[in-house]
């Protein structure tokens, strides 16, 4: 389930509104991610916080080069104002690969990445929409999980006490049944 969106104000923070995924490439084969805390490497490649390369629609790494400003549209089009250009000059450097993964059976692969059951990545369809200057927070409610953990711990302790009481009662009954010796 998607998490809530948090506004950061950083031009390199993006989030997917609703369902969908970014197509990324780490050390292995391409995979899916919802991580949008982006940065630019020394060689100009766009990566997320896990150092996975953000891929373009043709599944190639996106190189943004040196820039003064960057804009990412809700469709994933990346435009930069290159260093050394006339102020206001905008150059399109790529479009982020987005997929809704509609109808695909996804699973976390052995390398921890999200792919289809057959190990491939769903087709890029551009359906998901991006929100710039936002990141997606965890979809786990920490308070709710803490309360559930405490309730589980209490239930466990009660069950242990019941088992101990049953064992004590069984031992008492067995001692009554013993023949005096």
Provide the strand spans (E) within 133-179.
Answer: 134-136
- Which pLDDT belongs to residue 156? 94
Q: In the block, which residue shows the tokens 């991006």?
A: 130
Q: Cα–Cα distance between 145 and 36 in angstroms, integer? A: 25
- What's the gap between Cα 155 and its chain centre? 32
Rounded distance between C-alpha atoms, residue 129 and residue 121, angstroms: 19
**pLDDT value of position 141:** 78
Q: What is the pLDDT of residues 79-116, one digit of tens each?
A: 999 988 998 899 999 999 999 999 999 998 888 889 99
Tokens of 134: 């936002």
124-152 pLDDT per residue, tens: 998 999 999 999 888 777 888 899 999 99
User: Is the separation of the CB atoms in 47 and 41 below 8 Å?
Assistant: yes
Find the mean pLDDT for residues 29-40.
Answer: 94
Lowest mean pLDDT among 49-53, 132-136, 168-172: 168-172
């Amino acid at each position: 389930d998607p998490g809530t969106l948090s506004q950061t104000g950083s031009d390199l923070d993006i989030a997917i509104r609703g369902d969908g995924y970014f197509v990324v490439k780490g050390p292995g084969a391409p995979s899916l991610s919802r991580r949008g805390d982006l940065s630019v490497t020394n060689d100009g490649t766009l990566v997320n916080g896990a150092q996975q390369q953000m891929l373009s629609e043709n599944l190639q790494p996106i190189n943004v080069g040196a820039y003064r400003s960057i804009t990412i549209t809700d469709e994933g089009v990346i435009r930069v104002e290159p260093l050394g250009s006339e102020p206001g000059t905008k150059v399109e450097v790529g479009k982020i690969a987005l997929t809704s993964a509609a109808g695909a059976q996804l699973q976390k692969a052995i390398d921890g990445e999200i792919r289809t059951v057959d190990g491939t990545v769903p087709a890029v369809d551009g359906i998901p929409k991006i929100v710039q200057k936002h990141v997606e927070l965890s979809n786990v409610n920490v308070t709710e999980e803490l309360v559930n953990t405490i309730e589980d711990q209490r239930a466990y302790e009660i069950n242990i006490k019941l088992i101990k009481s049953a064992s004590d009662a069984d031992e008492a009954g067995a001692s009554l049944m013993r023949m005096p010796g």
